[in-house]
Structure 1
């Protein structure tokens, strides 16, 4: 008997089209939640994309952990604990521990990949049925 565990693969989990909700200048698009098996109590890990365009600052208070990696543009993050605004550009990484309070903004547009310790909140559009092995799952080219 093997202790090997199969991977979870989402086909076509691209960021080619993530619509902003009406009247909003930022959104998250979650891919999939996986329960960890590395602790006594499984915890959720969800990944997805964050998109923001110019507009009002978007406050966020963290009751979970998050890591963001900027892929395109610029995302400004005001750390309310220090009063410092960090200007994140492609290749920059930010970690938000539980208890963080920030405001996200941009003067143009920004796009980031994130991983969070919470279940899916806002599902990525058009991903239903794309988990490998699901009927009709295929990559978007």
Structure 2
């Protein structure tokens, strides 16, 4: 049931959101609430190609136990249990960043901004990589 594994596109992302809804038995409104967004915004992710901010992604990871790697790429298990949480590469990077920021005396708002910036950079890189691979396929077809 791993939809669009290893692919980043708005369609693949929307398919993974639908899988979350089905696997967890939650409504779109419930998933939206856990992302701190409206159900209309969530619907936009499913139907219009809109993509969520890093903050929304982080909320789903932390509040619903969604595997961030799976959510972004389709790789790995959809849901994390406590034993596996530390194995997720995105969670590991977030934990390292949080630890580093805390050690330097950062306040909650600074830590959250740092995590958001890191996730936004990761998302931008994935989108850029997806665009580059699309261009390579088009060039090969010419």
TM-score under structure 2 length normalisation: 0.24
More strand by share: 1
TM-score under structure 1 length normalisation: 0.24
Structure with larger RCO (C-alpha < 8 A, sep 6+): 1
More helix by share: 2
